[in-house]
Amino acid sequence: MKGKRLNPADYPSAWEHPDTRRAWRRHGLVMSFGLMGWPVAWFGMLYLLIVFLSQRFILLFLLPLCYAFYRAALQFRQVAMLFRIRSVIREYPWQIILGTRRGIGEHPEAEDKGIWIELPDPAGRSDAGIPLVFVKHHRAFWWLRRIGGPRTKPALKARLEPLWFAGDPRFLGVVAVSSRDGKAPRRLHFLYQPSAFDGRAPRRSWEGVEPADLERARRAGARFADVPSTAVSGAKGSEGAES
């Protein structure tokens, strides 16, 4: 007789949830195809232009060549994001959240500008959440459409319910949405506060941050030295896989 299947949020870390590991591997497979495919496309078009076509086709191929080169460069960044996702989900458990606040306008409490989602404060100081911004916009279009605005169809917005989150929104985390059967995450996407990686970025003065919180965030990949005593409350910083 099989044991009782645990709720994804009951595992000590998201990585220990078998369906999450499978989702991460699928995400990695998609990244691998892109990592191989875009360079092959670039060299293929260049070879076709040089060997089989005349110079008058250069302008016709210029835009596709530039785009393929751009996408190939982005794929290397996405591979780095893949391993950042793994670091986070190995450290933090899933939270399954309903009714997440989100928006496409600037959030007054965010460290950066852009589309955002608001997540529960781990310190539990109040009902007010902590915003995480989609700082890097590549691969965020799927989320942008569903976070939407006043004119976005409710059925489209509902696809973000419930939201899966692993991490600490004061530093970094991974968001995802449910699979069709609701048992697994998909569209894994890495999010972070700019101050978690850039020591020059002004940091919000989050109350309730403990040394253990900082150490856990470091294990998940954050690269700050400490929460500075001169942190600026409400300041904006400078500049998140989906599967």
pLDDT per residue as tens digits for the range 203-215: 766 667 888 998 9
Question: What is residue 21's predicted lDDT score, i.e. its pLDDT?
Answer: 96
pLDDT of 228 over the 60 cut: no
Q: If pLDDT is split at 50, 70 and 90, which confidence band does 78 have?
A: confident
Q: Could you tell me how many residues make up the chain?
A: 243
Burial status of residue 157 (CB atoms within 10 A of its CB: 0-12, 13-18, 19 or more): middle
- Which segment, 137-141, 144-148, 188-192, is predicted with the most confidence on average? 188-192
- Helix or strand run (H / E) with residue 89: helix 58-91
Residue 49: pLDDT band with limits 50, 70, 90 = confident
pTM of the predicted protein model: 0.81
More confident residue, 62 or 152: 62
Please state the rounded mean pLDDT for residues 95-99.
Answer: 92
Q: Is 165 helix (H, G, I), strand (E, B) or coil?
A: strand
Compute the average pLDDT of residues 125-141: 77
The whole-number pLDDT of residue 220 equals 95
- Band the pLDDT of 33: cuts 50, 70, 90: confident
In whole angstroms, give the CA distance from residue 232 to residue 203: 6
- The whole-number pLDDT of residue 168 equals 95
Specify the pLDDT at position 57.
82
Q: In the predicted model, what is the mean pLDDT of residues 184-196?
A: 92
pLDDT tens digits for range 17-31: 999 999 999 999 988
pLDDT at 234: 41
Helix ranges (DSSP H) in 92-193: 141-147, 154-157
Rounded to whole angstroms, the Cα distance separating 34 from 13 reads 29
Position 73 scores a pLDDT of 83
